Structure 1
């Protein structure tokens, strides 16, 4: 699709979305029409050593739409405590990398500040 903004011409391509047909929703002018759902993009399995999206999640993109709408098939998300643990571990890992970089650069002031921050975070 060709568009113009303030005299600048550009072309915009609408991204295509992979859709999955659902159950029949009704009739329109004598033809059945179905619900359509976008196919889900698989999520990363792990982040920071802990499951990121769902516990025991199998290929999110391969899930059947009907199974996903079944309450028994829905898997539980991470609890707040688990998210907090992953967050703290990530912050501690970043602090360690920053301390190594400060030590390699010989920046004693930054190294002292990072040590104080590390003690406050109880890493």
Structure 2
């Protein structure tokens, strides 16, 4: 079908695919209209070996593997957890001392008392 839009000619070829009638969509000006769906055909998946950012992978049919690959454990060891907790507390104390020094330099006694209470809670 040849069409023209704002002086530009183009050829319009609607899809020749089969359509399937769906359920009633409603009424428009007294006429019942239905949804028309394009009938989907199963397209076989291709198989290919691909590479993305240097990592090879396979799409399509599954490949047979010779052996299972062991995955490293992602659980934190107790030693790591303890060191992480100590580092966190050290950073909290350093931040609190800095805020306390600024509050004392500005002469804000109410903030100094709040920060000292926070320091007492942090010690526990």
Task: Report the TM-score when normalising by structure 1.
Answer: 0.39
Which fold has the larger relative contact order, with Cα–Cα distance below 8 Å and residues 6 or more apart in sequence? 1
Larger radius of gyration: 2
Task: Report the TM-score when normalising by structure 2.
Answer: 0.39
